[in-house]
Chains A and B, each alone.
Chain A
């Protein structure tokens, strides 16, 4: 067996629309020192730093990471898989540790999207320059297409998206890493501006800046530290073209095949057959409420045809699993870091270090990552017990 690994330190800055008072290196320093302090280690123990920075254009500076994340004398590389950047960076660090190349790795992701004049103009540039860019497609209109497909195929309603968004906002008030948690009801969501039908502005994630750092150690370096043991970490990529995914043998666009398969592989690795019974908590990287509903099905928390009923249970807090105890990415979504935040939050819950948002009895949790046109997916399972 390859050596097990665990998360032994987590550090996060506060997330807010714009950190006007700190440069990127200062944000990174704050998160890294907190993570190392949590792990009880110094930088001299770190054998690899993996940086996570998604589109350079969001910050307006190329290779933002080289002056803020890379550390002289320590091997370094940078991952960019869009919204999945943070979790892909964790997968890279785990490969490094499993290959025996280091005992302790530091994963750092940082987002400065508040410096973009308009994030959606940048996100428009992710689409095909010939066929799509000129019709002003954005991440919001991309999500809207999937939401309408979910409504047509399974009978979801806008009231359900609004209910999920309001529930996440309510939960986020316990999360002290969020500078200004929002308060709104489902009715408020439905009254808010339509960004791209059926997506309302209050169910969309806000522009968010901040940094997250996680210390991962091989089992032999964990010692007596409080650990979130990694039981599985899987990722999968898909074709970009959404049209090719609408109806194909592997599954439809809203079946989210990459998350379905990443999850299934992770379940096999961790020996899980009934995910709803196996997990106490889930952190889903879904910046929109409709995307969150799509992930429930892909993770096997419900059957596709039972999806709308499961959403109702989730809204009422009776789904049988703690969903997004942090408030999730609809509360704050620092794009480069958001998938790492999901893993960090799961680690905090199983380590019992989540502060005011700590829930009782969280022994095993799963974090998802999602990037590109819902084409990059990751699934990471953490637990109190060593595998």
Chain B
């Protein structure tokens, strides 16, 4: 243990998406994903002292799933902690370990295999067993409630949704890492609003040594547990997380070059723009359609499975900041970017990270 806090830099990242690949076990997918991130960073595993993971037992289909999966992520005789939380929360903890001087480099990895686990069923199991579970409600229904709330508040802007759907689908089509399939959605969501279900592994290599992209700010937010008591449009947890990251980075949220916003559906992503103050109330869908610096990756339309998604958004932002997002790359220089990560249910906890490549 040495002195802290230290600056934290991003050295490499990788995102892999697939669907029901019968040639790969879950541990194969994890090993391949972490190996790709190490290769991207140009760092051998023997230089890594810390592993922080985000994975969920009910998605992985076994209790204490990290027993079997953590070694595939490099946790062999290494300091490792697994969060049952969103991947961006794991990134935040990994960054704290680096900042504290506890490790030179850390692997941060998160995954979810929607073709084997069932995120919808798992989220239903997180609802109140007496009052809500009998109704069959889950994570995706909270997203539908959010959209319904917005439609009730801004009925004259319902037409904005079509353009944002088209844009998001087009962006996902340009993302070389995109993959996934459809799932039935509750009203008022349509197929084009939904996530593309995928088997996903995201991994990042962060460390103390200087690199072109640094983590400039991190923030967390926590909302009320009861969905009925929440401000579904105001999203106070997301706003608090982003404001904390913004204050730490000393960069205004609306002054950033790029935004990778985590949400299960288009409604969550687009309405987050309103909550973050990036557009006027009611203009979320329109702004999503017009602003080409929002979810260049295509967001959840390019692949989705809890709990990997906050780290996927981070990896996409990192690639944009390094000018390495391929056909999804923004034409203008991306020097600063915000990535957010949302945890169940309906974003009760949120993490925000600001990257700085200046």
Binding site for B on A (CB under 8 A): 1-2, 49, 53-58, 60-63, 66-67, 70-82, 88, 91-92, 95-96, 98-101, 122-123, 125-129, 234-240, 250, 257-258, 261, 269, 371-373, 375-376
Q: Are A237 and B4 touching (Cβ within 8 A)?
A: no
What is the CB-to-nearest-CB distance from A168 to chain B, in angstroms, rounded to a whole number? 25
Q: Are B99 and A239 touching (Cβ within 8 A)?
A: no
**Which B residue sits closest to A25, measured CB to CB?**
B225
**Which B residue sits closest to A55, measured CB to CB?**
B63
Q: Please name all residues of chain A whose beta carbon is closer than 8 Å to the beta carbon of B92 when the two chains form the complex.
A: 77
- What are 22 residue pairs bridging A and B, where the CB atoms are less than 8 Å apart in the complex? A56-B84, A57-B58, A62-B123, A62-B125, A62-B344, A66-B126, A72-B222, A88-B82, A91-B81, A98-B1, A98-B5, A99-B5, A99-B95, A123-B63, A126-B63, A127-B62, A237-B70, A238-B71, A239-B76, A240-B71, A371-B64, A372-B66
Considering the chains assembled together, what is the distance between the CA atoms of A96 and B85 in angstroms? Answer: 16
Q: Are A269 and B79 touching (Cβ within 8 A)?
A: no
Q: Are B81 and A92 touching (Cβ within 8 A)?
A: yes
Q: Are B93 and A92 touching (Cβ within 8 A)?
A: yes
**Which B residue sits closest to A234, measured CB to CB?**
B79
Q: Please name all residues of chain B whose beta carbon is closer than 8 Å to the beta carbon of A371 when the two chains form the complex.
A: 64
**Which B residue sits closest to A68, measured CB to CB?**
B225
What is the CB-to-nearest-CB distance from A1 to chain B, in angstroms, rounded to a whole number? 6
Considering the chains assembled together, what is the distance between the CA atoms of A235 and B79 in angstroms? Answer: 5
Q: Are B5 and A122 touching (Cβ within 8 A)?
A: no
Q: Are A235 and B80 touching (Cβ within 8 A)?
A: yes
Known: A53-B84, A57-B57, A63-B345. A236 touches B64 (CB 8 A): no
Considering the chains assembled together, what is the distance between the CA atoms of A294 and B9 in angstroms? Answer: 40
Q: Are A79 and B84 touching (Cβ within 8 A)?
A: yes
Q: Are B81 and A88 touching (Cβ within 8 A)?
A: yes
- Is B240 interfacial (CB-CB < 8 Å)? yes
Q: Are A72 and B224 touching (Cβ within 8 A)?
A: yes
- Is B67 interfacial (CB-CB < 8 Å)? yes
Considering the chains assembled together, what is the distance between the CA atoms of A62 and B224 in angstroms? Answer: 17
Q: Are B225 and A67 touching (Cβ within 8 A)?
A: yes
- Is B97 interfacial (CB-CB < 8 Å)? yes
Considering the chains assembled together, what is the distance between the CA atoms of A60 and B124 in angstroms? Answer: 12
Q: Please name all residues of chain B whose beta carbon is closer than 8 Å to the beta carbon of A54 when the two chains form the complex.
A: 64
Q: Please name all residues of chain B whose beta carbon is closer than 8 Å to the beta carbon of A258 when the two chains form the complex.
A: 77
Q: Please name all residues of chain B whose beta carbon is closer than 8 Å to the beta carbon of A72 when the two chains form the complex.
A: 222-224
* Partner of A101 from B51, B64, B96 at Cβ < 8 Å: B96
Q: Please name all residues of chain B whose beta carbon is closer than 8 Å to the beta carbon of A62 when the two chains form the complex.
A: 58, 122-123, 125-126, 344
Considering the chains assembled together, what is the distance between the CA atoms of A141 and B344 in angstroms? Answer: 35
Q: Are B63 and A57 touching (Cβ within 8 A)?
A: yes
Considering the chains assembled together, what is the distance between the CA atoms of A77 and B92 in angstroms? Answer: 10
Considering the chains assembled together, what is the distance between the CA atoms of A2 and B100 in angstroms? Answer: 7
* Partner of A237 from B80, B102, B348 at Cβ < 8 Å: B80
Count CB-based A-B contacts (< 8 Å): 174
Q: Are B129 and A240 touching (Cβ within 8 A)?
A: no
Q: Please name all residues of chain B whose beta carbon is closer than 8 Å to the beta carbon of A61 when the two chains form the complex.
A: 125-126, 129
Q: Are B126 and A237 touching (Cβ within 8 A)?
A: no
**Which B residue sits closest to A371, measured CB to CB?**
B64
What is the CB-to-nearest-CB distance from A99 to chain B, in angstroms, rounded to a whole number? 4
Considering the chains assembled together, what is the distance between the CA atoms of A236 and B80 in angstroms? Answer: 6
Considering the chains assembled together, what is the distance between the CA atoms of A2 and B218 in angstroms? Answer: 20
Q: Please name all residues of chain A whose beta carbon is closer than 8 Å to the beta carbon of B77 when the two chains form the complex.
A: 236-238, 250, 257-258, 261
Q: Are B70 and A77 touching (Cβ within 8 A)?
A: no
Q: Are B64 and A126 touching (Cβ within 8 A)?
A: yes
Considering the chains assembled together, what is the distance between the CA atoms of A297 and B240 in angstroms? Answer: 48
Q: Are B96 and A99 touching (Cβ within 8 A)?
A: yes
A sample of 5 more A-B contacts (CB under 8 A), given A63-B126, A98-B5, is A55-B63, A61-B129, A77-B220, A80-B66, A126-B67
Interface residues of B in 80-114 (CB under 8 A from A): 80-85, 89, 92-93, 95-97, 99-102
- Is B212 interfacial (CB-CB < 8 Å)? no
Considering the chains assembled together, what is the distance between the CA atoms of A257 and B67 in angstroms? Answer: 16
Q: Please name all residues of chain B whose beta carbon is closer than 8 Å to the beta carbon of A92 when the two chains form the complex.
A: 81, 93, 96
Q: Are B68 and A77 touching (Cβ within 8 A)?
A: no
Q: Are A78 and B84 touching (Cβ within 8 A)?
A: yes
Q: Are B93 and A95 touching (Cβ within 8 A)?
A: yes
What is the CB-to-nearest-CB distance from B5 to chain A, in angstroms, rounded to a whole number? 5
Q: Please name all residues of chain B whose beta carbon is closer than 8 Å to the beta carbon of A129 when the two chains form the complex.
A: 61-62
- Is B3 interfacial (CB-CB < 8 Å)? yes
Q: Please name all residues of chain B whose beta carbon is closer than 8 Å to the beta carbon of A79 when the two chains form the complex.
A: 81-84
What is the CB-to-nearest-CB distance from A96 to chain B, in angstroms, rounded to a whole number? 5
Q: Which 5 A-B pairs have the closest CB atoms?
A: A75-B220, A98-B100, A55-B63, A99-B99, A62-B125
Q: Are A1 and B225 touching (Cβ within 8 A)?
A: no
Interface residues of B in 189-236 (CB under 8 A from A): 218, 220-226
